[in-house]
Structure 1
């Protein structure tokens, strides 16, 4: 019932530490699904694509003409948000779109706690 308040991601198929290693090796796509304001305030994981949850279907569905090339690569996808709740919804949606290997790695804090670099915009 109170799972969304857990300090661990809701569906840990891949840990944030594993995602950091795989991202550095170019083996996965890391997807930040938070709103633009959240990314502007706290930055994003190094190497992550920013696709707000509201735009996920348009930018991640392989049948959409606006699907990002990185999301057509067939690579595993690691998704995060602020706490892991929205990324859980995004992981389910990505699966419904046909993406086969999708992992909710929790929130940006999980990435940082595992030693992942946070990139802040210079704007």
Structure 2
């Protein structure tokens, strides 16, 4: 059976709790990992949340699996993970993936603007110059 993006999004949104930027800030203050899964040019162009840990979506499975040489020690099964991307879609899909891999406490904050709008501190984008 063919699986559509809409079906994948519905399953992801059903599996991964959506939280707002204020709740994300509270969770990060209590030790949750704020995980930015945008691509590097997006960080450079739009800035990033202070304290966010970056793992591009394309490397997430490898960084999340302790059995790979690419495992990221910040990603622990006992640590809540708050994901965000630019708008929330990739974060939802990534959250479901992490849940499927055994991560129990996974949350979707949505996009970087959700962090900004709730007063979350930011590292401004790089000035591209001329």
When the two structures are superposed, what TM-score results if normalisation uses the length of structure 1? Answer: 0.83
SS in 2 for 1:47: coil
Cα distance in structure 1, aligned partners of 2:74 and 2:116:
23
Name which of 19, 32, 36 aligns with 2:36: 32
Asked if the contact 1:61–1:94 (Cα under 8 Å) also holds between the matched residues in 2, the reply is no
Q: What pairs with 1:80-95 in structure 2 (closer than 5 Å)?
A: 80-95=84-99
Going from structure 1 to structure 2, the CA distance change for 1:92 and 1:61 (only over 3 Å counts) comes to: same
Q: Rg bigger for which structure?
A: 2
1:45 aligns with 2:31: no
Runs of 4+ in structure 1 off by over 6 angstroms are none
- Which structure 1 segments of 5+ residues have no match? 5-9
Name which of 53, 57, 61 aligns with 1:57: 61
User: How many Å apart are 1:45 and its aligned residue?
Assistant: 1.0
When the two structures are superposed, what TM-score results if normalisation uses the length of structure 2? Answer: 0.79
Cα distance in structure 1, aligned partners of 2:29 and 2:50:
9
SS in 2 for 1:70: coil
Cα distance in structure 2, aligned partners of 1:97 and 1:12:
16
Name which of 105, 115, 119 aligns with 1:115: 119
SS in 1 for 2:75: helix
1:21 aligns with 2:26: yes
1:102 aligns with 2:102: no
- Which structure 2 segments of 5+ residues have no match? 1-5
